[in-house]
Every structure is written in structure tokens, then in C-alpha cells.
Amino acid sequence: MKHLVVLTGAGISAESGISTFRGNNGLWENYDVRQVAYIDSWYTNKALMLDFYNRRRRQLQQVKPNEAHLILAELERDFKVSIITQNVDNLHEIAGSSTVIHLHGELTKACNESKTEVIDIGFNDITLGDKASDGSQLRPFIVWFGEAVPLMETAERVVRSADILLVVGTSLQVYPAAGLINYTAKPIYVIDPEPLHINHNGVTLIREKASKGMELFKAFLVKGKPLST
Ligand code: APR
């Protein structure tokens, strides 16, 4: 089976009702992204950080995978599919994808402050005073700006073994994740409604929302249909 490696970002979950990060004037549901996405903010305002991620976790209960997530899961019939996602939602897993690498963490998990202990919390809130077993405040298992991305090496290895790289719904502005496209010399397909300028040879842009773009891409991969809309 050919190995299809898929790098996803916030855009793949947009049609499920989860806002993207950029393109909303830096606001995420009225929070300033800069205040809730940096490790420094954790040390200055834990209550705000916990509140933000508690809200996002609760929202996860209301949303469902869309056609794009579902098609990616379906493609496992014909391809070995590895998903590398920057998303902290669990919509790929709910859609049925079996190999999902969460580069930036997972909302349904919590960890101690040194990130050495990770626990499943499902959709439950984390509140100030909830302690990990080492006595530190329990925190969301999220990779904030200023923190290491421990799964990068794994992701690089997976991209190197790709026969095809598909990129869906990411502005490719955040490193190191955005640099992953440089680990393959194989064809790269990008699904995004915006005209992304990607500095890389061999990129085919499919300018569609994720669900429509995935339908076209599946017909192309499985039935050899042209990628035009
Ligand atoms: N279908 C596909 N793509 C879409 C859709 C849609 N329906 N709607 C928007 N997009 C595209 C946008 O055009 C943009 O290129 O999705 C992309 C979303 O980009 P960002 O908001 O920057 O999200 P992402 O690339 O995932 O952000 C990377 O930055 O804030 C951090 O850690 C956070 O993981 C996140 C990382």
C-alpha cells in the first residue's frame, strides 16, 4: 500500500464549527490568542488559561467530524494513512483514523507542569487546585508557544516515508510544524480555500474548503479523476 501522509491544521475542523486561529484578527472566540497560547501566560494567569481550554474542551462535545475527517478515515481502505495534526481536537480519532500524531497536544488530556505525567480527562474541566501526582498544578496537555514540540522527530520520520504528502487547512505559518513539507521530495497536495504561497517545488494547490477538497482528492487518488473543480 502507498503511504499517504496528511498534515492537518485548524482549517480541517472549520466546517465542524471550530474557529481557525488566523484570519479572525487574532481572536479566538473573543480571547486574545497571544494571551492563551504562550507558556509565559501560564505562569502569569493560570485561571485565564484554564478557563480558555476548559471552554474549548466543552465545545468538543458539541462538534462532529466533517466529510474531510471522514474521507481521511475511509482512505485507510486503499492506503496506509498517517495523520500529523496541529489540532488539539479529537475529530480525526472520532472519524475513525487509526494513526494520528498530535504535534500540539490534545484537549482531552492533562499533564503535570513538567509534562512528564499525562492523564486522560475526557471532557472534564481542570480547575485551579487540581494537582498532579507530583503536587504541581494540573495543566492542559497542549504545546504552547515557547515549549518544545516533542513529537517533531517522529513527524519528520513519518513525512520522510511518505509516497504522497497532503496538507489540509493550515496556514503553514507556525514552525517547526510548517517545516515538515521540506522532509519529502514526493508530490505535495494542499487543500485550502486561500491562495497560500508555499515556497516549495512540486506543490499542487486545491483551492477548496476541506470537505469539497477532500472529495476531489479522493476521486483523484482512487479513481484517477482530474483535480479541477
Ligand atoms: N477548509 C480548509 N481550510 C480552511 C477552511 C476550510 N473550511 N477555513 C479556513 N481554512 C484555512 C485558512 O485559509 C488557513 O490557511 O485553514 C488555515 C488555518 O490556519 P491557522 O488558523 O493559522 O491554523 P493552523 O495553521 O492550524 O495554526 C497552526 O498555530 O495557533 C497555533 O498551535 C496553534 O496549531 C495551531 C498552529
Decide whether any atom of ligand 1 lies within 6 Å of the 37 Cβ.
Answer: yes
- Active site residues per annotation: 104
Residues 217, 189: one domain? Answer: yes
Give the pLDDT confidence score for residue 26 in this predicted structure: 55
Decide whether any atom of ligand 1 lies within 6 Å of the 210 Cβ.
Answer: yes
Grid coordinates of 7: 498534515
Grid coordinates of 115: 509534562
Distance of CA 128 to the CA centre of its chain: 27
Grid coordinates of 96: 475513525
Grid coordinates of 189: 497536495
Give the pLDDT confidence score for residue 217 in this predicted structure: 98
Name the pTM for this structure: 0.96
Return the ∠ at Cα 103 (arms to 166 and 151), rounded to 5°: 110
Alpha carbon of 8 to ligand 1 centroid (Å): 8
Decide whether any atom of ligand 1 lies within 6 Å of the 14 Cβ.
Answer: yes
For 92-135, how does the pLDDT look when each residue is reduced to its tens digit (9 = 90+)?
999 999 999 999 999 999 999 999 999 999 999 999 999 999 99
For 170-212, how does the pLDDT look when each residue is reduced to its tens digit (9 = 90+)?
999 999 999 999 999 999 999 999 988 888 888 999 999 999 9
CATH number at residue 8: 3.40.50.1220
Residues 181, 198: one domain? Answer: yes
Give the pLDDT confidence score for residue 27 in this predicted structure: 60
Average pLDDT, the chain: 94
CATH number at residue 121: 3.30.1600.10
Whole-Å CA distances, 90 to 61, 63, 142: 10, 10, 13
Cβ–Cβ < 8 Å for 69, 87: no
Dihedral class, residue 20 (left if φ above 0, else alpha if ψ from -120 to 50, else beta):
beta
The number of folded domains in the chain is 2
Q: Are strands 27-28 and 100-102 parallel, antiparallel or unpaired?
A: unpaired
Q: Are strands 118-120 and 105-111 parallel, antiparallel or unpaired?
A: antiparallel
Residues 111, 190: one domain? Answer: no
